[in-house]
Structure 1
């Protein structure tokens, strides 16, 4: 039961904490090394004060520690463990230098002096006098690619979905569905933890989350056993901004756009002594006109008949999001904290659908229209209590978290169905309908993660997570006509999970090995109260993961990985009762669906240099019990029913290439190309059901500094047409353009952004079988113009204060240093 599992989890956490403390008391002193040098101006031979020194581990390109130079340009970094590193030296106005191979080995090489390092002035930047540093736009780790989105102009004033649209490998279609490398079975994490929101609810949350609340986006296509196995295509981790400054700081953003779009957001950070507080609030509202068409050939009738449907409407959306984190440092290595994420979203719908029945010559036989007036309100709260004990960052840590999440979704829609004459005039045939939906979802979870080094090269990670998710749904559908009636659809869905994992990491310098295994026990129960039926599943699964890395030199890295993933059907895929929104096109779930499992393999090569990075990744995924939508047509009523089936298997082959280029602070660009082949086998459902398609997608994002303070950014995305089971979907493309001018000593900025520059964001598709041929299109009118003003306060003085503390040795822990020279 849940309570017993939680108790075992707490006992495990207490044992791990005690073991860690005992180990700290009994372990002998580690062998540590020292790195020193001096930084001079190459043209004047004068010392460069407050230059940034960053030390990176060669095996996985992770940041280890760093320092800044003193008034004589000197620096000394102590406490380094033996191993292979590379060092970057940078200062605004100078070209960055990289010392590619620094080896610290006992006993001779424990005191390494890098000597005099001369920085060459960058003449294009000599007018810049502000002493700041920024993260690289793209960073490559052993299992992920990190995109730092703070300077992403094409999402300024936008939402999280605008940020994701400009990330390589990520696609968002016109319905808001997110996919990674063409696969929609991707898990979304917020600050490294999975969100309980799914499907349309998750999309609405991301549409309301301000873009400037996001620090970075991490793409993890093949996650290790440490992460939950949900998400067949991998993970997208959205990291929200926090811990940005010492003292008091923050920013304010105000924006307006076409289609009555307005946004406002603000961030406030405060860090003093042991207290660290971060808050962010954002508000967005706007209208979105929607257009769609559907044409169906009824092949079951002789002679043929046709159905044509035209949809027009406007959706109004608003969202309030509040995110707050409070941390208290118990001592130098232990932190206790709490966080809350509150989201209130809603909107209205005013749409009209015209249905026309045509004869064999496509002459009009009859027609009617269906109008919808709806209101929707969602409220989500996510509370977390956490404890961190960081003895050595990314090496020796204990993290524990207790989380409660609650989601409420209320929707009320009124339908009016009006018969029309052939000339389009209203008749006496009128039908009114009322649809009320009430959904409540809650999740309680406990997670404990622990890692510690067993030797200089060997590290162990272990953890436990238990969770209980419950979803209650109630729907009342009333039809007011000559034959009034009321329909109900009530169910409860429960998912209980318990999982434990263990990971062993071995770092041999040039070679790296990570082996992991996650064991999970899951139990689901779907109670369809209206039908009086209960469906249960109880299954145990093992999820192994393997990562191998080889880095002969600092600039070249090879990675080979394998992981097993799972995709569990959601409630609307399971609910056997159909919806009633559209009288001729119904969606009906399948309570007998099994989860689908994927085996994912990747081979990756990365070439890394200060100005250019190139990553080439061939990949293969094999999936069994594939969950796909399956459309049938009832000849007696003419109603198309979309349900879900488990197809036998799916194979995905592909090659993705991502390249980044950086020319000082003047030009920063990345481009990606993904070519793939998808084969599905649905012969277990129908003998001829399946597909074999080749597709590709590409993305370009480039930022150019036209003059100090003035930057231009352009992004473009294209996805090719693709064959699917019994049909084909069209290609999609979208371009964005943005211009930003900074002023007030770069504390303020004014940005202009054009979304969907060429008005190409639309979706088309065809479906066909023996009973019908169907063609449909949909456009979200995404072309908009945005004007955004941003003001930052408290940042510059805080950074200078932080540098002084570092120079005086007051704040030299790696996790504190990182905030300075990584641009936080």
Structure 2
């Protein structure tokens, strides 16, 4: 820990003596850039220290910014200087006479293998980095992520929640944009979260939570952006990890993460095979004010079986010392099978009229591919660079579905049967260019992004004719729906720093084309279902400006205030627009709305950060006003089933406004070397106003969610982690959702001389992660409960290849003795 103490003392000297000035008369500036020797990556928060030779008590210096740059004002004279950074060798510079301003150029630091213990301790403490426009969370240190999925890992990130259906929310808002390595990706499922619920969390290096995105980012997502950064080791030589997981209910994962780097290229790959059988369940109790039945209950059991293989393989070739070309291929194959059994009981008054069993067997074969090419050229060491990306993505899902429904009381007759074949093919092209030009201490950026996406969905429905016993095509609902979303954007932004004040201002121009066409269907049947006021075919263009502004004021070296403003757009995804109704239930259906328009939001964010020696506090207050916001409402379709049940539809619509105000607080606390606490609290209020078809769907509601995480190093070199999460109840115009509590536990121990780690974790220990809803409308009321996945227990083994865990045995034993542990 000697390096950490030296750095702390250096910073204290800077604070203590900077105000005294130096003995020389004329002020000059010393600047430079600090980078890692092997990778050339800039090192943020490195310390540059200058000591006056003639007056050694005069010490000054500075801290590098996010680009590794520093600039220090001194008086003319002779100085001894050095660069310090935790876990890196201190770079001592020769004594120099400075009589005019000078740029020292690129200063390269090398890792210090004698301080690897410090690396681990610091990594535990600094699991969050705060930047001008985002927060960065290192998920690799979370034990509960061992054997987990990407969705599980996101659910452990402050400000983020993942509900029981897998839907991702940021600060309680579901309009969040998911990026992989800063770009749309087949890995994120093109707007769907299904893939994120299947792929391993071991592939993630970090998650960037961007609640006030700058103009560089796509304007999509009114809540903000979650950028998932995948692992790509930059250490020279061959290295990597192999993670094997077994679990109950049945789960098996095998994930090698391998890397080989030389002077000329860097080869990286993450492979993964997974198999799981996560069971789920649901219960619905509906009471009707009209129709043939007064009450209907549905009891659903869901048995799933998923197996899949994914691979992310890439090669980075270093053309020169300043430029490189990276090519990568991502592929995912998934084979799934879900069996849903729905036991339905119908009541007239308090008497049972009939019982039916509806079985839905859905297979899913999915293939996703993505080809990416990236070129980057660093023209100089000052940050002048050009980056160009090209990407092609292909995704195909084939879903054969068989549905049968039979009476179980008072007879055993067949009620109906359906054969469905649904095929979805999606192609996406992306081209992007980003240019950065430093202008003194300022920085200018400009760029272009074009994203062209087409989704072709074929839906074929055959229904059993009970009289003939043959299956007949339903021409009214069999269809083909083609949806295009094309977005082109130009952006520019400018940032600068004046003393303790920094700003980044930008403007983004985006043109969005949304185009949909229904083919091969009985248009009249669909039109009657949706209503005459909704057009089935559409071709819409939206040209909009999106300004952004981020400000930071440094109260002290370890304390600052931030202010952010940005304008965002939420474009409706394909399943929200597809007009063909779902078939999982005869009486409760979901139907897309092709008349949906994008919603727009203006968001403001004020943040405060304070760091102490063992405590980091982050907080913010935010406000958002969204127009044309999406809301899912429930209404009667005017249709009834063959046995007289009123069919109820869930339909997404544009409401007029949605105002949201909230506050969040996060604490990272290390009371001792063996105990780390991470907790966060988020409170928000939303107010929705809007009328649809004469019904007022306005609502006002407050809710909150909170996390508490504790990691303890026990005797015997065992780590114990506990994560608790609670989301408070929420309510809109029709539905109240009860609060949800989840408890996760994990234990780990290093073995094989720190080359291996075994872990045991339990997700949802109390089996309490389920959604409980109460819905009231003029025509029916409903009580429901749904659990997507039951309690999961995982045992994992991680083996490190040339990546021995960064601690030394003698240091660990010394720490144990200091803390009073006995072997």
Farther off after superposition, 387-396 or 405-414: 387-396
1:486 aligned to which of 463, 473, 481: 473
- Give yes or no for the alignment of 1:325 onto 2:314: yes
Distance in 1 between residues matched to 2:425 and 2:568, nearest whole Å: 28
Partner of 1:408: 396
Partner of 1:338: 327
Farther off after superposition, 525-534 or 493-502: 525-534
2:439 aligned to which of 454, 459, 471: 454
Q: How does 1:414-493 map to 2 (within 5 A)?
A: 414-422=402-410, 427-455=412-440, 457-482=441-466, 484-487=471-474, 488-493=478-483
Aligned CA-pair RMSD: 3.2
* Distance 1:133-1:60 versus aligned 2 partners, 3 A rule: closer
Partner of 1:534: 537
Instruction: Calculate the TM-score normalised by the size of structure 2.
Output: 0.82
- Give yes or no for the alignment of 1:773 onto 2:781: yes
Structure 2 unaligned blocks of 5 or more: 1-27, 35-42, 49-60, 75-80, 91-96, 105-113, 524-535, 641-645, 809-823
CA contact (8 A) 2:396 2:424 kept: yes
* Distance 1:134-1:594 versus aligned 2 partners, 3 A rule: same
* Distance 1:459-1:590 versus aligned 2 partners, 3 A rule: same
Distance in 2 between residues matched to 1:664 and 1:332, nearest whole Å: 43
* Distance 1:152-1:326 versus aligned 2 partners, 3 A rule: same
* Distance 1:156-1:328 versus aligned 2 partners, 3 A rule: same
1:249 aligned to which of 228, 236, 239: 239
Q: How does 1:338-417 map to 2 (within 5 A)?
A: 338-360=327-349, 362-391=350-379, 395-417=383-405
1:794 aligned to which of 782, 802, 805: 802
CA contact (8 A) 1:218 1:236 kept: yes
SS at match of 2:515: strand
Higher relative contact order (CA 8 A, sep 6+): 1
SS at match of 2:192: helix
Distance in 1 between residues matched to 2:631 and 2:407, nearest whole Å: 35
* Distance 1:363-1:784 versus aligned 2 partners, 3 A rule: same
Distance in 2 between residues matched to 1:713 and 1:658, nearest whole Å: 18
Partner of 1:567: 570
Farther off after superposition, 304-313 or 644-653: 304-313
Structure 1 unaligned blocks of 5 or more: 1-29, 37-51, 66-78, 98-103, 112-124, 801-824
CA contact (8 A) 1:171 1:180 kept: yes
1:563-584: CA deviations, max 9, x gaps? 0111111112112221222111
SS at match of 1:203: coil
SS at match of 2:166: coil
Shift of 1:139: 1.2
Distance in 2 between residues matched to 1:513 and 1:354, nearest whole Å: 60
* Distance 1:183-1:602 versus aligned 2 partners, 3 A rule: same
Partner of 2:686: 678
Distance in 2 between residues matched to 1:305 and 1:765, nearest whole Å: 20
CA contact (8 A) 1:53 1:90 kept: no
Shift of 1:63: 4.7
Q: How does 1:111-150 map to 2 (within 5 A)?
A: 134=123, 136-150=126-140
Distance in 2 between residues matched to 1:771 and 1:244, nearest whole Å: 61
Partner of 1:280: 270
Distance in 1 between residues matched to 2:227 and 2:98, nearest whole Å: 36
* Distance 1:445-1:636 versus aligned 2 partners, 3 A rule: closer
* Distance 1:235-1:366 versus aligned 2 partners, 3 A rule: same
Shift of 1:611: 2.1
1:410-448: CA deviations, max 9, x gaps? 1111111101224xxx52335321111111001011100
Distance in 2 between residues matched to 1:628 and 1:708, nearest whole Å: 53
* Distance 1:90-1:328 versus aligned 2 partners, 3 A rule: closer
Partner of 1:581: 584
Distance in 2 between residues matched to 1:341 and 1:216, nearest whole Å: 18
Shift of 1:60: 9.9
- Give yes or no for the alignment of 1:262 onto 2:252: yes
CA contact (8 A) 1:690 1:726 kept: no
1:545-575: CA deviations, max 9, x gaps? 0111100311111100100111111112112
Partner of 1:525: 515
1:495-514: CA deviations, max 9, x gaps? 22211000010111300111
- Give yes or no for the alignment of 1:623 onto 2:611: no
Distance in 2 between residues matched to 1:144 and 1:786, nearest whole Å: 32
CA contact (8 A) 1:56 1:63 kept: no
* Distance 1:780-1:496 versus aligned 2 partners, 3 A rule: closer
* Distance 1:206-1:87 versus aligned 2 partners, 3 A rule: farther
CA contact (8 A) 2:567 2:601 kept: yes
CA contact (8 A) 1:389 1:398 kept: yes
1:751-781: CA deviations, max 9, x gaps? 0101111221111111111111111111234
* Distance 1:106-1:174 versus aligned 2 partners, 3 A rule: farther
Shift of 1:175: 0.6
Q: How does 1:10-21 map to 2 (within 5 A)?
A: none
